[in-house]
Structure 1
Amino acid sequence: MDRKIRIGLAEDKVVNRNAFISKVNQMNNCELVLNAHNGRDCLDQLKGLPESRKPDVIFMDIEMPYMDGIETVAYARQLYPSMHFIILTVFDDDDKVFDAIKAGAEGYLLKHESAAVLEDAINNVLTYGGAPMSPAIARKTLQLLHHADRPTVTQPLQQSSDLPSDMSEREMEVLQMMVNGLDAKSIATKIDLSVHTVRKHIANIYDKLHINSKAQAISLAHRQGWFKG
């Protein structure tokens, strides 16, 4: 991208908005073009911005007055299908992860994440079509799936042979670590590869499993019983 990445924020608490602005100011290639107090304000500001100044990525709080983040994402996705949305949350909001993803959010990060993590998430979404998710949220997502889909009778676990036959051992290894809650950087460190190479593996995994997000990978692995024995 031969220009700065345009970032938006919808957050009702001043202290959180100021903290986010400070993080954006630490990013080399990003600029804040939208700073909204709630979902309704976000939609109003989007309406007033010319196409050349609309955000590439909007970070969205969940709990806001007038219109919450989940409702705002669902509505904005219809109006601006090429725009990307990442939820910023506190851990207490983690039970809403499925609603947010269903609404069209492409990532789910904790508010305390550093500027470097946020910038990596932005690049991940824009460059690779990835779905950044804080490791703690990914683990909780798997736990919620496990409890929500617990079978009433004992069922045999499916084996790795149910994975696509063209998936390499390295891709299966990366997938397992994703399911365990690791992000691309953590995976790269663990298996001594570059982050770029890990993201290539993740893109191949998504393609072979016919999915497009980490949340879908976790859900699919859970339903199929992969990596459980």
Structure 2
Amino acid sequence: MIGDAAIGAGVHVLIVDDQRAARAGLTLMVDRAEDLTVVGEADNGQEAIDLLEAWAAAGRRLPDVVLMDIRMPVLNGIDATAAITRRHPGVQVLIMTTYDEDDYAFGALDAGAAGFLLKDTRTADLQRAIRAVADGDAVLTPRITAEMIRRRRSRSVITSRGQTQARSALESLSPREIDVAALVAQGLNNAEIAGRLTLQPDSVKKTVSRILTRLQLRDRIQIVVLWNHAGCRGVKNELVTTDR
């Protein structure tokens, strides 16, 4: 287990990677922002879990965001993500991946990750992503969203009953909530949704939270899945069935 940094204000970040050089590089990128602070490091998934458990037992503030590598000894990033999001739902996990690790990354999304970034991401993009997930957003590009939906569809047959249940759940939403859910399903983040609907980002964030609560969903990714199970698109505050 790696020693942790001094506690500060702003967004707290835990870095988990079995490569010391990678951890050092990510720390430099994160700490360049005044509102972001790396408060700890771990070199595998189990050490990350142990560190969080120790902090929780001591009554210490947990990190807001975990930057998680996928391929690590002892415990990989997918299993660690599942454990962390189950035990500490307030901690958001961002998976750090490479182009050839998409299969692993999608598994991490299923495990509860808030999204994933390429390891060669630029400093500004990394900092924006950390802020976004700490604020309850998700980091999902349209490409990733489309591929995730395709893979889920290929793994399970959506029955007419299941589609009807999904549509029924969505129809319980208000017109504004339907508009927001439709854009979440397209992979847009809160700022992009705000621009599209001419709303304030805080208003979008509150609306997403209401959708999650009303539909008893864990995160934005489940909104994406439910929306596409329903086979719908949002048009002028209405649900319209799409041809499949």
The verdict on a shared fold, with TM-score over 0.5 as the criterion, is: yes
In the alignment, residue 203 of structure 1 is paired with which amino acid?
S
Does the 8 Å contact 1:91/1:110 carry over to 2? no
What residue is the counterpart of 1:212 in the other structure?
Answer: 218
* Percentage of identical aligned residues: 25
How far is 1:206 from its partner? 1.6
2:156 to 146, 149, 156: 149
Matched ranges for 1:108-119 at <5 A: 108-111=115-118, 112-119=120-127
1:52 match: secondary structure: coil
In the alignment, residue 144 of structure 2 is paired with which amino acid?
I
Change (3 A) 1:149 1:23: same
1:63 match: secondary structure: coil
In the alignment, residue 133 of structure 1 is paired with which amino acid?
L
1:215 match: secondary structure: helix
2:189 to 183, 198, 208: 183
What residue is the counterpart of 1:90 in the other structure?
Answer: 98
Aligned residues: 225
2:81 to 68, 73, 78: 73
Matched ranges for 1:1-229 at <5 A: 3-14=9-20, 16-43=22-49, 45-46=51-52, 51-52=59-60, 54-77=62-85, 80=88, 82-97=90-105, 99-103=107-111, 105-111=112-118, 112-128=120-136, 130-150=137-157, 162-227=168-233, 228-229=242-243
Gap regions ≥5 residues in structure 1: none
Does the 8 Å contact 1:160/1:226 carry over to 2? no
Gap regions ≥5 residues in structure 2: 1-7, 234-241
Q: Provide the alpha-carbon RMSD of the alignment.
A: 3.5
Give the TM-score of the pair, scaled to structure 1. 0.76
How far is 1:7 from its partner? 0.9
Change (3 A) 1:77 1:205: closer
Q: Residues 123-168 of structure 1: CA distance to partner in whole angstroms, max 9, x if unpaired?
A: 444444x4443443222211212222345x9999769963544523
More divergent stretch after superposition (60-69 vs 91-100) = 91-100
Query: Structure 1 stretches (4+) deviating beyond 6 angstroms?
Result: 153-157
How far is 1:32 from its partner? 0.8
How far is 1:199 from its partner? 1.8
Give the TM-score of the pair, scaled to structure 2. 0.72
